[in-house]
Amino acid sequence: MPTINKKPLMIFFVVLLVFGLFASFWRQGSNSGISATGIGPLEIGQATPEKVRNYAGAPERIWKQGQKKTPVGFKGELWEYRESCPELKSLGGVPCRTLFGFVNGKLRTFSSTDPRYHTSKGSWIGMAVAKTIKTEKGTLTEGGDCPGVKLPAAKGVLYVLNVSSESGNTKTGFISGFYLSKEPASFALCTS
């Protein structure tokens, strides 16, 4: 019986595995980017619930307008995703939640504290405010109960990175969430 040299076969499978893992991480990274026009492949103001479900999977909860005991006041329909995010405990216990808001069957508002998301320029949850402003060319908004870094966006689009600070000084704070909305918004910035 002839012997089979297993070394080339093993090398082939290792290369295939490494390529598969790389492709998976690359695809996940490129799909989790947020920009002023959308989230991964989802265009804000245009994406349908079907496209969001294909992108994010089935939501944990779906609310229709007028229901009671919702996480935020909203118009239209609200989808909620909750994840276990132990890495956020070091950031002051920010809950890990993603909301997709729809008005007239179109994605109008997105908000997330999930650390798997990042901006298309590379800003992430936990990043220092000063570095984020420089990277994103954003403006710090400190007024009221909802400080954030407002990012450049088209007219009618609000793109903000939420800011938290243990010391109360937002200039030395960190990014604690993402908010992207196109008029008419499904829910307001400070309610998410």
CATH number at residue 131: 2.60.460
Range of the domain at 106: 36-191
39 has which bridge partners?
34, 42
Q: What is the pLDDT of residue 93?
A: 54
Q: Domain for residue 163, yes or no? A: yes
CA 144 to the chain's CA centroid: 23
Q: Domain for residue 27, yes or no? A: no
Q: What is the pLDDT of residue 4?
A: 60
Q: Domain for residue 89, yes or no? A: yes
Separation CA 97–CA 177 (nearest Å) = 9
- Helical H runs in the chain? 6-31, 49-56, 129-136
**What backbone torsions phi and psi does residue 182 show, to the nearest 5 degrees?**
-120, 135
pLDDT at 21 over 70: no
Separation CA 75–CA 97 (nearest Å) = 19
Q: Domain for residue 186, yes or no? A: yes
Domain count, the chain: 1
Q: Domain for residue 169, yes or no? A: yes
Per-residue pLDDT reduced to its tens digit, 127-155: 999 999 999 999 999 866 788 999 999 99
Q: What is the pLDDT of residue 6?
A: 54
pLDDT tier at 18, thresholds 50, 70, 90? very low
Q: Domain for residue 134, yes or no? A: yes
Q: Domain for residue 29, yes or no? A: no
Q: Domain for residue 10, yes or no? A: no
